[in-house]
Structure 1
Amino acid sequence: MTDFAPLQALGPIAPARVPGSTPWTPHLDHYLAHYQLAPLLGDHVALHVGYLDARGFRLWTQIWTPTAPRGTAFVVHGYFDHLGLYRHLLERLLAQGWRVVLWDLPGHGLSSGERATIDDFDDYGECLAELQAQLDHQGLIPKPWVGIGQSTGAAILATDALRHGEPSTWQGLALLAPLVRPLGWPQSSWLHRLASPFITTLPRKYRPNSSDSDFTAFLREADPLQADYLTLTWVSAMRRWMPQLIALPTSQLPVLILQGEQDLTVDWAWNLEVMTRKFPRARVYRHPEARHHLVNEAEPIRQVLFDELSVFLDDVAPCNVQRLGT
């Protein structure tokens, strides 16, 4: 199995590649090749990699920068995910001229923390805030800022925007298959209450969460950064977070919600009702064939979803810079 542990010895985030050079370590080379990120390092893209310390965690962070960025897009991944799985979205955002910040959540990917768990969902939001403060201090994240989150990542961004109110540091948010509660929560909630005093983890079931069979096979067979269990500590933290989100005041922030109607991971119809109440200006696009992992859907579905995202980003943050490839 591929071992990326040597990358955990890297220091603070720093330039790893500028146009015309190569990554600074063979371990990084191998990581970029394994997750098919290397082809995105063309002559017009620079890369920073390394760690940022926040809330007692070491967060594996990457910043991808095209020539003359129009602003900064923060990408926040979902539960069990890590930033290495987001190449399709990264490619689209770079083509649109965005500087892209990606980071592994605590307990995920190459970040520190007990695997696949968190004591409190607030830790996620506080990590995001500290990451932004540190990168802003270094002059690495030009405004406007947009947030793009998948599932749990969408929940983190939505909570951040609702808690901070208006005026927001965000120009807009794109919430992809946002988590509020999982599918079957009214039933599984009782099981969680009964089981949590006695067990700490449950074996993970790799159900297809995308119609791209190559992606789902990669998760099961070739991704060494996947956790093989669900922690009940994480479920407990989610349980406490849900009523907190619902109690927060609404926001007039521009929001795009992308949702697959074949999603069997989250209770998407119920979640959409919550999110559209919280964000009255939200634009909702539902795809009849898409499942849950929208950033890694089959190419025809993914392109439709990404086209919706591109239009939204152009609306909230018009681009005055010629895009790559145009």
Structure 2
Amino acid sequence: MTAMPQPVPFQPERLRAALGPLALASGPLVEEARAYQRYYGLELGVQRRLGRLHCDGLELVAQLWLPAAPQATLILVHGYYDHMGLYRHVIDWALGLNLAVLSFDLPGHGLSAGPRASIDDFAAYQRALQCLFAEAAGLDLPQPWHLCGQSTGAAILLDLLLLGAPRPEPGATLLLAPLVRPRAWGLSKLSYHLLGPFRSELPRRFSANSNDAEFLDFVRRRDPLQPQTLPTAWVGALAKWIPRIERAPRSAQRPLIVQGEEDMTVDWRHNLRVLQDKFDRPQILRIPGARHHLANESEAIRRQYFAFLSEHLR
């Protein structure tokens, strides 16, 4: 017999309204925030802050996990359809390295405001990232600041490295299953040009993008922050961004890249060729059997790439 989904112990809209600015959120969390963190397993044994930051006309929600004496900081950017609540494995790994961890829900995702899972231009993601950097500076988080992005989060970091302003400080860039071009992009682009003028959104299709069956079930059935549609505006923004990033000049930076060889979400072979051309000898770990959502892959796969990343960060 299939188990009934558990009731969700927090209300996203009520939680967002109860939050104050992140920079001032140094006291105990309100009960709604504690319930949210318990639900997603984010109570990770260190000082925690959950609060809002005003950016580009939107209220975004950010979180900080702060060890007693952190040696550096990890700034974490989640993927499309995701939110901070799904990244406890990455956060826990970073805390084990004595890193402070700062993250936020992208515009239109998770607890943040904005049209659900939609964006008119990828430049909006860069503006949001700069707001997060400003928050990190205001909180005086220890340097170096390492950057980590999954999928679209990695694409946002690629945009920063290749086309953005110089990094505000030194640090490594960690790219998990980076998006340059989605799998079967030609067909997707054709569908967008045919349907875009007539449809503002399409039903979302959930995919088996991890070997962790519990994660897949949670996302499909028990996560109240999951968008249920694919806005055609987001696909249009992606269609404008891909040629821009593929024409970008080379960079002397050397990101760390982790890529699963069973990834059916991005065109990973094409993407790795692009990244090898754009960067100076990037360090790449390819993992046979790993699927797209590396942040929530099986424990054995996570151990493998966390060891790779830890070795290079040390």
TM-score, scaled to structure 2: 0.93
Q: Using the alignment, how far apart are the partners of 1:140 and 1:222 within structure 2?
A: 36
1:165 Cα offset (Å): 6.2
1:16 Cα offset (Å): 5.0
Deviations 1:121-176 (A, max 9, x none): 0100111112212331x233221111000000000011111124667634221100
Deviations 1:224-249 (A, max 9, x none): 00001111100000110111111222
**Mapping 1:104-253, distance limit 5 Å:** 104-136=105-137, 138-164=138-164, 169-253=169-253
1:279 Cα offset (Å): 1.3
Counterpart of 1:12? 21
SS of equivalent residue, structure 2 residue 172: strand
The alignment covers a number of residue pairs equal to 305
Counterpart of 2:37? 32
Q: Which moved more, 1:211-220 or 1:6-15?
A: 6-15
Q: 1:203 to 1:164 in 2, by over 3 A?
A: closer
**8 Å CA contact retained: 2:119, 2:237:** yes
- Give 5+ residue unaligned stretches, structure 1: 315-326
**8 Å CA contact retained: 1:15, 1:49:** no
Q: Using the alignment, how far apart are the partners of 2:150 and 2:306 within structure 1?
A: 13
Q: What letter matches 2:110 in structure 1?
A: G
Q: Using the alignment, how far apart are the partners of 2:229 and 2:41 within structure 1?
A: 26
- Give 5+ residue unaligned stretches, structure 2: 1-6
SS of equivalent residue, structure 2 residue 51: strand
Q: 1:254 to 1:17 in 2, by over 3 A?
A: same
**8 Å CA contact retained: 2:84, 2:103:** yes
Q: Using the alignment, how far apart are the partners of 2:79 and 2:124 within structure 1?
A: 15
Identity %: 44
**8 Å CA contact retained: 1:171, 1:254:** no
Deviations 1:14-48 (A, max 9, x none): 46567xxxx4211111101100112x1x2xx2112
Q: Using the alignment, how far apart are the partners of 1:197 and 1:245 within structure 2?
A: 25
SS of equivalent residue, structure 2 residue 59: strand
SS of equivalent residue, structure 2 residue 171: strand
**8 Å CA contact retained: 1:166, 1:251:** no
1:83 Cα offset (Å): 0.3
RMSD of equivalent CA atoms: 1.5
TM-score, scaled to structure 1: 0.90
Structure 1 stretches of 4+ with a deviation exceeding 6 A read none
Q: Which moved more, 1:299-308 or 1:158-167?
A: 158-167
1:7 Cα offset (Å): 1.4
